[in-house]
């Protein structure tokens, strides 16, 4: 089965570590591409390509501010990821409940 293009699928877009780093940096607010590139140690064209992919999947918005363009996080685009990972919450809660029961059992045995 062919893999979906990164420009149309949020999962593929965030699979790239540098794109996740960009999203992390944008959590604190808007930034110009030059600042993002410098922070990540990449070229401005490289950062621009990543931002284009993130914008096309709906994770980043941009706006013109004077001579530069500012990029900001649009976390609404992460909804499919949140919904998918949320499906594992029940699994982890059950695992932690079992671990807690085991620890309590060990404590009880030590006290006896």
Q: Where are the alpha helices (DSSP H) in the chain?
A: 10-14, 17-26, 33-40, 44-56, 79-86, 89-111
pTM recorded for the entire structure: 0.74
Give backbone dihedrals phi and psi of 5, rounded to 5 degrees, phi first: -65, 140
CB within 8 Å of 56: residues ≥ 6 apart: 7, 8, 13
pLDDT of residue 6: 52
- In contact, 8 and 53? CB cutoff 8 Å: no
Domain 10-111: state its class. mainly alpha
Residue-by-residue pLDDT tens, the chain, 112 positions: 444 445 568 999 999 999 999 999 999 999 999 999 999 999 999 999 999 999 999 999 999 999 999 999 999 999 988 888 888 888 888 888 898 888 999 988 888 7
pLDDT of residue 53: 95
pLDDT of residue 12: 92
């Amino acid at each position: 089965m062919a893999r979906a293009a990164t420009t149309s699928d949020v999962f593929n877009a965030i699979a790239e570590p540098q794109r996740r780093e960009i999203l992390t940096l944008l959590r604190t607010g808007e930034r110009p591409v030059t600042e993002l590139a410098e922070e990540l140690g990449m070229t401005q064209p490289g950062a621009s390509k990543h931002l284009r992919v993130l914008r096309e999947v709906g994770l980043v918005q941009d706006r013109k501010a004077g001579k530069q363009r500012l990029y900001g996080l649009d976390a609404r685009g992460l909804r499919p990821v949140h919904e998918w990972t949320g499906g594992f919450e029940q699994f982890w809660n059950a695992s932690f409940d079992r671990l807690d029961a085991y620890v309590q059992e060990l404590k009880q045995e030590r006290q006896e």
